[in-house]
């Protein structure tokens, strides 16, 4: 019996894995392709999980990246509900948790990450949830009907979006953040304070500088105990404190790792014939001044997928895409372009209280990122400024009556 083998084997059927298969066919790659993915679902969009899907506004079918028929029509085999547990780079083969060995010509590792868990006492109790997969959210939704008090641990985008969705159900939501403001790792203070005020105005209790000591309860969660002794009664707890990149099999195979698997500008790992893309790939990013980072965004998953696919078909170009991201909370549409980390100035354009404004971030005198809230014009015009590293003055940027492109034209 001949062992199963594909010309390109993609591990992970999320945004990056699906996009890589699609890009390969768009690049006229004629070889065999398969996706092996631990989740039992067809590839689907993850962002709505903490937004419209959690709020009951979008069915799962509307989350599918492509209809079921697409994959067969394009000759892309799907092995769903099957995880890769080992990689043999010399033999160019993987082993799955179903006990199968599958060979590859090229391997694309697109496994994303597992939600970071709390490690304190009680973290395993029933009623403690992550929001990463459809199954996570379905389990959460099952319990929400019976729940009134919800504690969200983590004031990043996922925690805030979940809090916004749950207020629509009339739940009493408390959000606990260890740092002194929400979104502290990804945005400047003006944006953090704006979102804190918006959530509070809708009844979300926000507790800053608050660390979780343990989750209390017998089999089921009863409350969240903070380090200062406060007990927050809870029927359900949602933990949104980041992810741990899923790279253990690659690491065991000898790939260079460090906050994800290391890749070069073509998304190649240190192992021959193995690319890595998406949330799990640590790469040197021009928009982070060349620092090695992981980006957790649909943009990065899609663009790295294209980079890897083109490299495989021999039309490679270095990854150089402008980072962008979005977040929807209530009727607020946040669009972000660039990376603000390490900024020296955060210039507010417009009046946050009017719920339409943007924050322009400068580093070394250059525009490095823009957060635009209900301000699509600034986002659209700001892309070119971020891409080109425009040098603009704080005073000029502060004048929100002038469009960004006009300010840029004057230099």
For residue 72, the minimal CB distance to ligand FAD (Å) is: 19
For residue 279, the minimal CB distance to ligand FAD (Å) is: 4
> What is the torsion angle, in degrees rounded to the nearest 10, for the CA atoms of residue 250, residue 253, residue 257 and residue 259?
40
Residue nearest to ligand FAD (CB): 14
Interface with ligand FAD by CB under 6 A: which range of 6-14, 203-211, 377-385, 401-409? 6-14
Separation of alpha carbons 341 and 185, rounded Å: 8
Interface with ligand FAD by CB under 6 A: which range of 35-43, 121-129, 206-214, 363-371? 35-43
Among residues 47, 159, 217, 338, the one that binds ligand FAD under rule CB under 6 A: 47
Binding mask 300-339 for ligand FAD (x = CB under 6 A): -x-----------------------xxx------------
Q: Please, what is the Cα angle at 94 between 111 and 76, to 5 degrees?
A: 65
Q: Which is nearer to ligand FAD, 110 or 390 (CB)?
A: 110
Backbone angles phi, psi at 154, to 5 degrees: 115, 120
For residue 267, the minimal CB distance to ligand FAD (Å) is: 12
Q: Please, which of residues 94-153 interact with ligand FAD by CB under 6 A?
A: 110-112, 131-132
* Site membership for ligand FAD, residue 155 (CB under 6 A): no
CB 203 within 8 A of CB 166: no
CB 220 within 8 A of CB 143: no
Q: Which helix (H) or strand (E) holds 36?
A: strand 33-37
Among residues 6, 9, 10, 13, the one that binds ligand FAD under rule CB under 6 A: 13
Q: Which helix (H) or strand (E) holds 288?
A: none
* Site membership for ligand FAD, residue 14 (CB under 6 A): yes
- β-pairing, 345-351 vs 292-293, is unpaired
Residue the block writes with tokens 């203070």: 189
CB 310 within 8 A of CB 25: no
Residue the block writes with tokens 């060349």: 290
Binding mask 245-284 for ligand FAD (x = CB under 6 A): -x--x----------------------------xx-----
Interface with ligand FAD by CB under 6 A: which range of 34-42, 119-127, 382-390, 398-406? 34-42
Q: Which is nearer to ligand FAD, 136 or 216 (CB)?
A: 136
* Site membership for ligand FAD, residue 84 (CB under 6 A): yes
Burial 189-211 (b: 16+ CB within 10 A, else e): ebbbebbbebbeeeebebbbebe
DSSP annotation string for 308-352: HHHHHTT------PPPEEEEEETTEEEEEEE--TT-SEEEEEEEG
For residue 15, the minimal CB distance to ligand FAD (Å) is: 4
Residue the block writes with tokens 């406060």: 230
Among residues 83, 222, 365, 389, the one that binds ligand FAD under rule CB under 6 A: 83
Q: Which is nearer to ligand FAD, 111 or 381 (CB)?
A: 111
For residue 257, the minimal CB distance to ligand FAD (Å) is: 14
* Site membership for ligand FAD, residue 39 (CB under 6 A): yes
* Site membership for ligand FAD, residue 154 (CB under 6 A): no
Distance of CA 272 to the CA centre of its chain: 27
Separation of alpha carbons 149 and 237, rounded Å: 9
Instruction: Name the site residues for ligand FAD (rule: CB under 6 A).
Output: 11-17, 36-39, 46-47, 49-50, 83-84, 110-112, 131-132, 158, 246, 249, 278-279, 296-299, 301, 325-327
């Amino acid at each position: 019996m001949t062992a199963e083998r594909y010309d390109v084997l993609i591990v992970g059927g999320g945004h990056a894995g699906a996009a890589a298969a699609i890009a390969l066919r768009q690049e006229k790659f004629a070889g065999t392709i398969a996706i092996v993915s631990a989740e039992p679902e067809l590839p689907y969009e993850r962002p709505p999980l903490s937004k419209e899907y959690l709020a009951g506004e979008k069915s799962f079918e509307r989350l599918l990246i492509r209809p079921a028929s697409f994959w067969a029509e394009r000759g892309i085999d799907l092995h769903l509900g099957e995880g890769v547990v080992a990689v043999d780079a010399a033999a160019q083969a993987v082993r799955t948790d179903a006990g199968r060995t599958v060979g590859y010509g090229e391997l694309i590792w697109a496994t994303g990450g597992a939600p970071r868990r709390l490690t304190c006492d009680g973290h395993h109790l029933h009623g403690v949830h992550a929001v990463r997969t459809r199954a996570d959210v379905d389990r959460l939704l099952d319990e929400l009907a019976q729940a009134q008090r919800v504690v969200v641990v983590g004031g990043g985008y996922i925690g805030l979006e979940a809090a916004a969705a749950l207020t629509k159900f009339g739940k009493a939501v408390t959000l606990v953040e260890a740092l002194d403001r929400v979104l502290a790792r990804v945005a400047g203070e003006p944006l953090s304070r704006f979102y804190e005020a918006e959530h509070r105005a809708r009844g979300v209790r926000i507790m800053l500088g608050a660390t979780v000591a343990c989750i209390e309860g017998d089999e089921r969660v009863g409350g969240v105990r903070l380090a200062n002794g406060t007990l927050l009664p809870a029927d359900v707890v949602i933990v949104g404190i980041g992810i741990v990149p899923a790279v253990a099999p690659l690491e065991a195979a000898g790939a260079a790792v460090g906050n994800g698997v290391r890749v070069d500008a073509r998304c190649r790992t240190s192992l021959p014939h193995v690319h890595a893309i998406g949330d799990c790939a640590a790469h040197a990013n021009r928009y982070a001044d060349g620092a090695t980072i992981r980006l957790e965004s649909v943009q990065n998953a899609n663009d790295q997928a294209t980079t890897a696919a083109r490299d495989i078909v021999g039309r490679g170009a270095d990854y150089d895409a402008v980072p962008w991201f979005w977040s929807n909370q209530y009727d607020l549409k946040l669009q972000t372009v660039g990376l603000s980390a390490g900024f020296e100035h955060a210039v507010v354009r417009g009046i946050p209280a009017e719920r339409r404004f943007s924050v322009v971030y400068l580093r070394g005198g250059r525009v490095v990122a823009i957060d635009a809230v209900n301000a699509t014009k600034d986002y659209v015009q700001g892309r070119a400024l971020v891409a080109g590293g425009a040098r603009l003055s704080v005073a000029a940027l502060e004048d929100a009556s002038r469009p960004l492109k006009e300010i840029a034209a004057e230099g």
